Amino acid sequence: MKILGVIGSKRKKGNTSCLVQEAIKAAQKEGAETELIFLGDYSIKDCTGCEGCKDTLKCVINDDMQKIYPLLLEADGIILGSPTYFYNISADMKAFIDRCYCFEVFAEDDRSCWLGINEVLGGKYAVVIAVCEQHDEKDMGFTPEAMSKPLEALGYRVVDMVRVLGLFKAGEALQDNKALEQSRKAGERLVKTIKLRKDTETKIKELKKTYN
Ligand SMILES: Cc1cc2nc3c(=O)[nH]c(=O)nc-3n(C[C@H](O)[C@H](O)[C@H](O)COP(=O)(O)O)c2cc1C
């Protein structure tokens, strides 16, 4: 089982990074193979809306996102983390999400019929982690939903949304036991859900045999 962690803050020792890494460590402890990427290490251009991906599911922009697509195709689960920037996700996270548009498929004659490729690949699961400075949840704005809604459209089921308030200085998250615990729990839940899925797949095969 593979889990991919995606960090949308450029602060490598920042709060988002600490919490996504905590979730990733918990996923490892539960037996998952993990990979962690900092979007700041990649050069990801904005989606141009060219629809060049329409027939092939392959984005035509030749940049570092081409290194991330295979990781997305391989991973059974994904953990997205972003700081709140003006009530929303960071620009890095937004560019990454928009470039996943090539994994949305629309019926040619009726664009109201569409799916995310993960619906075809089989059950895939996700966790989102949002971090902001203020102590009132309204100051986090749309940050968690700006990640969870696109993930759902791409065919992931979001099993946990971690919202952490009141963190400002880089690395303060390491002193926030509640936030660390929430992130660990989210990583565990992600792996346990994927294990449950795999076990259920086996059970369904057995069930089908009983009707033959
Ligand atoms: C451009 C920018 C915009 C921000 N906007 C908000 C905001 O709208 N609400 C809030 O509570 N914190 C806001 N913050 C504070 C960050 O969310 C906070 O410091 C967070 O811990 C940063 O995460 P990081 O350490 O992972 O980079 C903003 C910070 C920056 C740099």
Residue with CA closest to ligand 1 atom 31: 85
Tokens standing for residue 29: 């402890």
Cα–Cα distances in Å, from 162 out to 53, 66, 130, 167, 204? 32, 28, 6, 13, 32
Question: Residue 212: is its pLDDT beyond 90?
Answer: no
Phi-psi label, residue 44: left if phi above 0, alpha if psi -120 to 50, beta otherwise: beta
CATH class of 2-210: alpha beta
Give me 98's structure tokens: 């928009």
Domain ranges of the chain: 2-210
118 lines ligand 1 (CB under 6 A): no
If you ran DSSP here, which 8-state letter would residue 173 be given? G
Q: Which residues pair with 66 in a beta bridge?
A: none
The single-letter code of the amino acid at 113 is C
Written as six digits, the tokens of 200 are 């259920």
pLDDT of residue 210: 97
Supply the mean pLDDT for the chain.
Answer: 97
CA distance 203 to 207: 6
pLDDT tens profile 33-51: 999 999 999 999 999 999 9
User: Which amino acid is present at 149?
Assistant: K
Would you say residue 165 has pLDDT above 90? yes
Atom from ligand 1 closest to the CA of residue 86: 8
* pLDDT tens readout for residues 86-117: 999 999 999 999 999 999 999 999 999 999 99
pTM of the model: 0.97
CA of residue 146 to ligand 1 center, whole Å: 15
